[in-house]
Amino acid sequence: MSVCCTTPPDEVRGTDPELARIDVAGFAAEIEALRRTAYATISHADYLHMRRVERRGRLATLVGYLTVWLPPNPFTAVALSLGQNTRWLLAHHITHRGYDRIPGIPARYTSRGFARGWRRFVDWFDWILPSGWDYEHNTLHHAYTGEDNDPDVVERHAAFLRALRVPLAVKYAFLMLVALTWKFTYYAPRTMSVLDPRTLRRRSGGHILGTAFTNVFDLRSPTVRALWTRCYLPYAGFHFLLVPCLFLPLGTTVAFYVLLNKLLAECITNVHSFLVIGPNHTADDLYRFDFHYHGRPEFYATQVLSSANYHCGTECVDHLSIWLNYQIEHHLFSDLPMSTYREIQPVVKALCERHGLPYRQESVFKRFARMTDVVVGRTSGRRLARLP
């Protein structure tokens, strides 16, 4: 594995001088105090905020379907995309148990009810199987962030592209293809493959399916067959076959417009989610770890060192960022309501500065550029063998 060109290998793999001031124990003590305070402030107002976010997404979906019969246009496609990404936004925080502590809310807005069973088709109908997402992301990614056991290490997945001796333009073109398709070429296979294809129970490590096209068309594999029957065919059949067919009474041209608008919306929602999700843990200033943390103090430190925020603080920016602009806070406390992250973000930033932890925060476009440089092999993430 190559290392960041701006930092000597022995410093990256040992104790980076940037981390010389880290006070792991002191940071953990104050973060624990903040955790207790944050939990104590969770209230029904957080639930009402989440419902407002949901209504905005539903309204966008409604606007999209009211205009989906028009000739292909960005207004319709963006509205449909925003509605679809809002469902993922809600799924992310609800399945992380962010609203489980609020008494009296409907069960469908708790981790035990949201997108469970038949509610998948109402709450979060996507390429991604909700139970697979719960295990792949909520459990494995958050427990092993930045480690070799993290299923979502972008630099590792891009190793073949980084090593290719082709012009950078070719690599950028391939990255754009990934961005346009990544929910069904990346997340659908990965979330399906962490589950037993027959029982849908969680599997142990070592079973994650690669995203090569040769794999997803190998129907001899039970996991691949489950991927098609539970992810690909239901989603594609509904959005790209059934919905256009419903408009056939208005004519084949209208039905064709509906299909094109749906396909355009799918491309936009893929690119949008890739833009805000991909850079969260991948850059030349973020760390990967050659060790697994021991105890909460090290856990807190590694989550900060391997995560980056975007600009935040307004409802519009937060919604468009799928609330992943609070990635550092989310990885410290993954089970908080969305609205709480905005309240604690300045406190967490100040605690990081006080205890010597680098707090990375830039615009989403700068972070995306940093991620892109890693993916194409221009830079590499930092490696850390131990905490100071």
Here the tokens at position 382 are: 């930092």
Under 8 Å CB-to-CB from 132, ≥6 apart: which residues? Answer: 190, 191, 192, 193, 194, 195
Write down the pTM of the prediction: 0.91
Here the tokens at position 272 are: 């949008």
What torsion do the CA atoms of 209, 210, 216, 217 make, to the nearest 10 degrees? -110
Nearest to 202 by CA among 268, 114, 266, 136: 136
| Residue indicated by tokens 């056991």 | 149
The residues spanned by each domain of the chain are 1-41+282-388, 44-156+174-281
Distance CA 109, CA 169 (A): 45
Here the tokens at position 333 are: 């406390």
| Residue indicated by tokens 């060109």 | 5
User: Residue 318 phi/psi, 5° resolution?
Assistant: -65, -45
pLDDT per residue rounded down to tens, the chain (388 residues): 333 333 344 344 446 788 888 999 999 999 999 999 999 999 999 999 999 999 999 999 999 999 999 999 999 999 999 999 999 999 999 999 999 999 999 999 999 999 999 999 999 999 999 999 999 999 999 999 999 999 999 999 999 999 999 999 999 999 999 999 999 999 999 899 899 989 989 987 666 666 556 688 888 889 999 999 999 999 999 999 999 999 999 999 999 999 999 999 999 999 999 999 999 999 999 999 999 999 999 999 999 999 999 999 899 999 999 999 999 999 999 999 999 999 999 999 999 999 999 999 999 999 999 999 999 999 999 999 988 7
CB atoms near residue 107 (< 10 Å)? 11
